[in-house]
Structure 1
């Protein structure tokens, strides 16, 4: 009899446990959580994966210290990175370009862009800004895309990159010429504007010819 009572009690406890489990709905699948922002060491206010506040030309985000509109650091960073990109991209266009006009334009970028920037470099020396010496992730990605492009797609991709690059640099130079920090560098930026505008006009001309 005692054994029967123990079995009955155990069955009752088991039934109660099952009823309790049934009464508790399964937890809904949590929504996908956003990846936590990784904070840069020594700068709790600046998340590493936050979107950049501005772009230094078409190639890379500006350093945090260069986000002031028309700052000298933004100008130096922007034109230097653009030159690095233009030389590398121009050499690829000379080799992979399908039309003689694209090949010739690429060749001109290899010489014209550094020549234009060299006219300002002596002014940059007076600042304490250290120009970049190599492309960052964005610029390297653009170069990689050109290297990977098929012959049929190359000219179109190159000209698309050029349109964005030339327009961004034109905006950068115009902005600095009008309201830049350095009265010494502003005239040099203004002097470079017509040449970059001519490059952009040529890109548009080549794009129209492709249609």
Structure 2
């Protein structure tokens, strides 16, 4: 049932993007739009309720954020985008290190993912291939979607009976700050 819901939401997002968006990179835009509801559904269901799903989801979220920030630092010509990317990179690097430090006691034997899943690889590929004219908006749109997903994941897990719930609560204020700043930048574009 959840898979059907996720597929239906993703298909609707792709159709909406294809029918409304006429940018030079419509396939990438459609893929990015489809990735957002899939990530939200995953974060709200398994990630928010099971430690075995929360840990890799949080780790991959941090990996994606760090890689996307590196691309923005390199490609963007917008000072606000670059500043936000620097902040995101620093905060998600710290969050990743904090979670890794907790794992031996909180989840002994847990192995963290070492590479991104296909959905997030696609997002990174879209940033890498984005034209200079479209890069900043593509990055900001991805950041808004990714930080909404991260809030759903961490807020949902924060009330679980797990030592990692404290970690989830501790990262929410930074994620909220990143989201507010991304939304401010988008409004100014």
Shorter chain as denominator, the TM-score bin is: 0.7 to 0.9
> In 1, Cα distance between the equivalents of 2:132 and 2:170?
36
Query: What is aligned with 2:150?
Result: 169
Does residue 125 (structure 1) correspond to residue 104 (structure 2)? The answer is yes
Does residue 151 (structure 1) correspond to residue 132 (structure 2)? The answer is yes
Does residue 137 (structure 1) correspond to residue 103 (structure 2)? The answer is no
Larger Rg: 1
> In 1, Cα distance between the equivalents of 2:48 and 2:73?
35
Q: Tell me the matched-pair count.
A: 155
Contact 1:94 1:106 in 2 (8 A): yes
| Larger helix share, 1 or 2 | 2
State the shift of 1:154 in Å: 0.4
> In 2, Cα distance between the equivalents of 1:68 and 1:131?
14
Gaps of 5+ in 1: 1-49
RMSD: 2.7
Does residue 160 (structure 1) correspond to residue 147 (structure 2)? The answer is no
Cα displacement string for residues 120-157 of structure 1 (whole angstroms, at most 9, x for unaligned residues) = 22222231332111012111110110011111100000
Structure having greater relative contact order (Cα 8 Å, sep ≥ 6):
2
> In 1, Cα distance between the equivalents of 2:6 and 2:104?
26
TM-score (norm 2): 0.73
Ranges of 4+ aligned residues in structure 1 off by more than 4 Å:
50-55, 59-62
